[in-house]
Structure 1
Amino acid sequence: MDVDTRLLRSFAVVADEGHLTRAAERLFISQPALTKQIKQLEALLGVTLFTRSRTGMTLTEAGAALAGSVPAVLDSWDAALRTAKSAAGRADRVLRVGFVASGANELTLRIIAAFARRRPGWRVQLHQTSWDDPTAGLASGDADAALLRLPFPGEEALDIEVLITEDRWVALPASHRLAGQEVIPFADLFEEPFVATPEASGRWRDYWLASDERGGHPVTVGAVAHNPDEWLNAIANGYGVSLTPQATARFYQRPDVVYRPVSGVSPSRVGVARPRTPDVPAAVRDFVRSCLELRPVPESGELPAPDPGGCREPDPSRLGPSPQASRARAPSSSVMRSGATARE
């Protein structure tokens, strides 16, 4: 019997979470799609894996037996896949780097240049993903490393080094009643409809809604966007407003959209991420070093506070020695950004 590893992976996450909604968020898929996958796996195996109730999903005896074996199977498959892809990348001297929206903004070219000095003859293959996947290909194995906006679902399974912090602003239609204000209190936006990313983006979507900073006020979603173009058009058409990194005002200027600072919300953060594995390829380590050498030094001399999700502040000593380090120089620094989100 041949079983798609995608079905096994979905089963493992549901077994771990015990809840379809939370599992769907971790997998970046809709709840109906996840339900369909579980039923498909049960049909293939000819057994019932879960008992379903209003409180969640409980493993049956057969489900518990499978849950005890599946993680090792998936770990072995993932390791084999990484080894094969890494070998192909080394042979071609290509490093696959994912990003969401414009990712690193001004820093992108500088990071690539720093990596090129460490790895002469290597090429960085940048791959942009939609907002359906805030991990920019890391979760699927399509990226070796990624430049990401924190927080997002599934980040606990990745090794993340925080690079910078950046204020959150708000994007508004140019005709909006608040567009003329220099600074907009977040409380003034509580009754506004928001433009959201897909629900499957989970924690990332929640953060760009600032759901923990609303004082219990619910959100109304006026539109859902999967990429920057859809997002800008929805705002320009008056379907809603959206929190966004400050850099968006520089990189996505339109006459029918305005950007304003927002008070009452915490800043966002950008990090470089890679899979959390003991056998990190040397090229990935060098890419992380290239990012860290460009990290701005806060005026206070202190590092940003760590993210509750488990991200760490940069610690170059963890990366081990680099034979190319003597050739690397540190260009001037800048900021990064990613897309904006909200939650229904």
Structure 2
Amino acid sequence: MDVNLRRLRSFVTVAEELHFTRAAARLFVAQQSLSKQIAQLEADLGTPLLQRTSRTVQLTPAGEAFLAATREALACFDQGVAEARRIGQGGQATLRVGFIVGAALELTTLILSEFTSRNPGARVELHEFGFTDPSAGLASATTDVAFIRLPSSTNGFVTTPLFTERCVVGVSTAHPLSDRERVSVQDLLDETLAIGRTDDTVWRDFWTLANQRGRSTQRLVETHSQSEEVEVVAAGMACNITPAAAQRYSPHPGVRFIPIDDYPGSVVAVAHRSNPLNPLVIAFAAAAKAVRDREPQILQMIQNAPVTRGLEP
């Protein structure tokens, strides 16, 4: 199927405005011309993208799916154009690296150093993302490569696992479980759990225990950041399922961390789209694998780090 970029951009504009007159004004084209572009696009796809009445314009389910794919495709194309121009004009090639809280823990600096030593002409841009986007910018094409945690939605991504980290539960020092040395999933099924706001259901189900024993945790407290989640736990408003590294990276005198004996660990991985436009992406993944393979002691420390009672208040 040969779809030109003008039609794709026209469709995105109509989808954003849900109004042909306003969309045509934004695009500086006649409304009739815009309508023909959308009709031709629908004909090429063989399915309606928009539901039109005399008063409203709405996306069809097919239109919703196509909009997400179109935005990603245009973002990738625009990034490729910008990168090609920059390199062609003698500028540095840039790699946008996304990460969420903790990134690759103690391996992060080593991986970045390895990559820059192998690619001295490259410029690295680091972008931190909250729990609202577990893909760390990959899903929206804001980043080229990212440190992510699995399980999460990875459709269309290539992942390179670095290590698996045990999961713990964070509880308030006043919580009845705070004196326990270990807990099981069964001990936590009736607890209110804190979870970052996100549309990634795979991620959400894992960190709320919804994937265990066919039971969905209904009592949730949604948070906007890691620091907010820690304060919610310290105040006794909820518990949180979290990686063991939270004890090192997000300590709090009002929070105790307890190992969960029968819950799977979380995998930290380097991820990128299956057809990366930036050639530095493959080089970054290779650097990450090289560091992983030569640092068994650091991996052992991360994977087997003891979980203590936490900071004393």
Q: TM-score w.r.t. structure 2 length?
A: 0.72
* SS of residue paired to 1:233: helix
The CA distance in 2 between the partners of 1:227 and 1:157, in whole Å, is 26
CA 1:123 to 1:70, structure 2 compared with 1: closer, same or farther past 3 Å?
closer
In 1, distance between residues paired with 2:69 and 2:216? 41
Letter in 2 for 1:286: A
Query: How is 1:29-108 mapped onto 2 (pairs within 5 angstroms)?
Result: 42=52, 50=60, 77-87=74-84, 90=87, 91-108=91-108
AA in 2 matched with 1:270: V
Report the structure number with the largest CA radius of gyration.
2
Aligned CA distance change for structure 1 residues 248 and 164 (closer, same or farther; 3 Å): same
* Cα shift at 1:77: 2.9
Segment drifting more, 182-191 vs 195-204? 195-204
Does the residue aligned with 2:110 lie in a helix, a strand or coil? helix
C-alpha root-mean-square deviation of aligned residues, in Å? Answer: 3.4
Change over 3 Å in CA distance of 1:44–1:142 after alignment to 2: farther
CA deviation profile, 1:189-235 (whole Å, cap 9, x unmatched): 1111000121423211111123222x233313342112111110111
> How far does residue 273 in structure 1 lie from its aligned partner after superposition?
0.7
Residue 168 of structure 2 corresponds to 169
Could you tell me which amino acid in structure 1 is paired with residue 193 of structure 2?
Answer: F
Match of 2:218 among 210, 217, 220: 220
In the alignment, is the contact (CA less than 8 A) between 1:192 and 1:220 conserved in 2? Answer: no
Contact 1:170 1:243 in 2 (8 A): yes
Specify which structure has the bigger relative contact order, considering alpha-carbon pairs within 8 angstroms and separated by 6 or more residues: 1
1:45 deviates by 11
Q: Which runs of 5+ in 2 are unaligned?
A: 1-6, 19-48, 304-313
Partner of 2:273: 275
The residue number in structure 2 matching 1:250 is: 248
Match of residue 178 from structure 2 = 179
Q: Structure 2: how far apart are the matches of 1:237 and 1:183?
A: 21
* Separation in 1, partners of 2:250, 2:291: 24
Aligned pairs (5 A) from 1:123-134: 123-134=123-134
CA contact (8 A) 2:133 2:198 kept: no
Q: Do the aligned residues in 2 keep the contact of 1:222 with 1:239 (CA within 8 Å)?
A: no
User: Does the alignment pair 1:286 with 2:283?
Assistant: yes
Q: Secondary structure at the match of 1:82?
A: helix
- Give 1:20's aligned residue: none
Counterpart code for 2:168: W
Contact residue 92 and residue 121 of structure 2 kept, 8 A: no
Could you list the per-position Cα deviations for residues 46-79 of structure 1 after superposition, in whole angstroms to 9, with x for gaps in the alignment? Answer: 66654xxxxxx6x6xxx7xx98x87996676345
Q: Secondary structure at the match of 1:212?
A: coil
* Corresponding residue of 2:12: 5
Q: 1:157 to 1:184 in 2, by over 3 A?
A: same
The counterpart of 2:232, out of the listed 226, 231, 234, is 234
Q: Which one-letter code corresponds to 1:116 in the other structure?
A: T
| Map of 1:147 onto structure 2 | 147
User: Which residue in 1 is equivalent to 2:116?
Assistant: 116
Contact preservation (8 Å) 2:50, 2:59: no
Change (3 A) 1:226 1:88: farther
Task: Go from structure 1 to structure 2 and tell me whether the alpha carbon gap of 1:244 and 1:114 turns closer, same or farther (over 3 Å shift).
Answer: same
Summarize the alignment of residues 301-316 of structure 1 with structure 2, pairs less than 5 Å apart: none
Return the alpha-carbon distance in structure 2 between the equivalents of residues 142 and 293 of structure 1.
26
SS of 1:188's equivalent in the other structure is: helix
**Corresponding residue for 1:138?**
138
| Residues 186 and 122 of structure 1, relative CA distance in 2, 3 Å threshold | same
Calculate percent identity across the aligned residue pairs.
Answer: 27
1:41 CA drift (Å): 7.8
Say whether 1:262 aligns with 2:269: no
| Contact 1:131–1:201 (CA under 8 A) maintained in structure 2 | no
Q: Using the alignment, how far apart are the partners of 1:85 and 1:92 within structure 2?
A: 12
Change (3 A) 1:227 1:87: farther
Aligned-partner SS, 2:127: strand
The 1:71/1:170 distance shift into structure 2, 3 A limit, reads closer
Query: TM-score normalized by structure 1?
Result: 0.66
Q: Would the aligned equivalents of 1:7 and 1:41 in 2 still touch at CA under 8 Å?
A: no
Give the 3-state SS of the residue equivalent to 2:199 in structure 1.
Answer: helix
What is the number of equivalent residue pairs in this alignment?
260
Contact conserved, 1:110 with 1:331, CA < 8 A, in 2? no
* Alpha-carbon shift at residue 152 of structure 1 (Å): 1.6
Cα shift at 1:257: 0.7
CA distance in 2, matches of 1:71, 1:177: 45
Shift of 1:83: 1.2
